[in-house]
């Protein structure tokens, strides 16, 4: 979300909204689309802040546009280009691609295939332009006629709401300290008396906000702490190491542009690279890069949880 904030900021801040298109009312819209359109039309965006995984955009009338991307949300420029922004209809499935490939290899002479490839490379850029689909829930156009801004979210676990001037919202008010500033003592204090697994505490946005499933697993690995450990049993020393690991992992992910594993793209369409630095998340059955043991996957707090049984105690 921090990478998204940094890169979508210039496409929002200082621009006056001329058009607002939305999909039909749904779980995603905490503010009804009709009210959202009324509240946004003609407004100028004054800034863009992040509160944990939420983005908050103050408007020139004192209202605030609040966005959360949930699991599959994508916030991006109309000029962005990426296969991750295409819906299934606009993209060939893996089965189709495989079928086409094997057909092609069977009947097509190599020279012909090369010619087709160069034709495709010549034509493709024009065809790749993003076209709003049924998952594109918000589309903002601006007075300056520049690039639009899109919010797309396949699963609709994201959130869009408009807070009127001075209005607050419990979802924002209950957030803890930002993960980038989580301190050992704060984590230690928050863990006291909690019987839940330490991973559940890391994911609790009221303790620290911004830590998601990938980063919880990666931080626990770095700190050498097993995710299933009872939070209340962690020592000050372990909390210090874990808080440090959280900060390090989050900073590194921001540096590398985030984790593009399945849906995430930056607002400019670029993939992040943090997925290449994962040591445990999504590596169940593979060898631990530190000790060679098999990475294990278990459920903790109903979330897939990955750890090294020898490095993490």
Instruction: Count other Cβ atoms within 10 Å, centred on residue 146.
Output: 13
295 vs 308: CA distance, rounded Å: 5
Q: Rule CB under 7 A: which of 233-262 touch DNA?
A: 258-262
Name the residue nearer to DNA (CB basis): 17 or 200. 200
Stretch that binds DNA, among 13-21, 31-39, 121-129, 196-204 (CB under 7 A): 196-204
E strand residue ranges, the chain? 17-22, 49-51, 54-58, 64-68, 73-77, 136-142, 149-153, 159-163, 177-178, 208-209, 296-300, 303-307
How many residues bind DNA, per CB under 7 A? 45
Residue 215 near residue 179 (C-beta atoms within 8 A): yes
- Residue 303, interface with DNA (CB under 7 A)? yes
- Residue 102, interface with DNA (CB under 7 A)? no
Residue 157 near residue 61 (C-beta atoms within 8 A): no
Say whether 17 sits in a helix, a strand or coil. Answer: strand
Give the x-and-dash track for 162-181 against DNA (CB under 7 A).
--------xx----------
Give the x-and-dash track for 197-226 against DNA (CB under 7 A).
x--x--x-x------xxx------------
Name the residue nearer to DNA (CB basis): 48 or 67. 67
- Residue 157, interface with DNA (CB under 7 A)? yes
- Residue 31, interface with DNA (CB under 7 A)? no
Longest CA pairwise span in the chain (Å): 70
- Residue 263, interface with DNA (CB under 7 A)? yes
- Residue 127, interface with DNA (CB under 7 A)? no
Q: Which residues contact 168 (CB under 8 A, 6 or more apart)?
A: none
Binding residues (CB under 7 A) for DNA: these are 26-27, 52-53, 68, 70-72, 87-88, 91, 93-94, 135, 154-157, 170-171, 193-197, 200, 203, 205, 212-214, 231, 258-264, 281, 297, 301-304
């Amino acid at each position: 979300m921090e990478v998204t904030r940094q890169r979508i900021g210039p496409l929002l801040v200082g621009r006056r909204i001329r058009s607002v298109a939305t999909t039909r009312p749904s779980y995603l819209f905490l503010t009804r689309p009709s009210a959202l359109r009324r509240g946004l039309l003609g407004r100028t965006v004054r800034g863009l802040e992040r509160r944990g995984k939420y983005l908050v955009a103050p408007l020139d009338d004192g209202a605030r546009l609040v966005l959360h991307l949930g699991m599959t949300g994508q916030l991006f420029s109309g000029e962005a280009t990426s296969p991750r922004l295409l819906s299934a209809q606009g993209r060939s499935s893996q089965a189709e691609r495989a079928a086409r490939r094997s057909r092609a290899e069977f009947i097509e002479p190599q020279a012909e295939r090369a010619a087709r490839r160069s034709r495709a490379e010549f034509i493709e850029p024009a065809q790749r332009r993003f076209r709003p689909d049924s998952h594109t829930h918000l589309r903002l156009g601006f007075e300056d006629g520049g690039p639009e801004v899109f919010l797309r979210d396949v699963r609709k676990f994201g959130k869009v709401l408009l807070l009127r001037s001075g209005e607050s919202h419990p979802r924002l008010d209950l957030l803890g300290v930002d993960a980038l500033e989580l301190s050992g003592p704060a984590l230690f204090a928050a863990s006291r008396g909690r019987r839940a697994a330490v991973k559940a505490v890391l994911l609790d946005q009221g303790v620290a906000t911004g830590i998601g499933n990938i980063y919880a697993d990666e931080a626990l690995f770095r700190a050498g702490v097993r995710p299933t450990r009872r939070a209340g049993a962690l020592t000050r020393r372990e909390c210090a190491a874990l808080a440090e690991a959280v900060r390090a992992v989050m900073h590194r992910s921001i540096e590398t542009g985030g984790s593009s594993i399945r849906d995430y793209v930056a607002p400019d369409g670029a993939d992040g690279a943090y997925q290449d630095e994962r040591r445990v998340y999504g590596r169940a059955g593979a060898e631990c890069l530190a000790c060679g043991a098999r990475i294990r996957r278990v459920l903790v707090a109903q979330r897939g949880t990955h750890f090294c049984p020898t490095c993490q105690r």
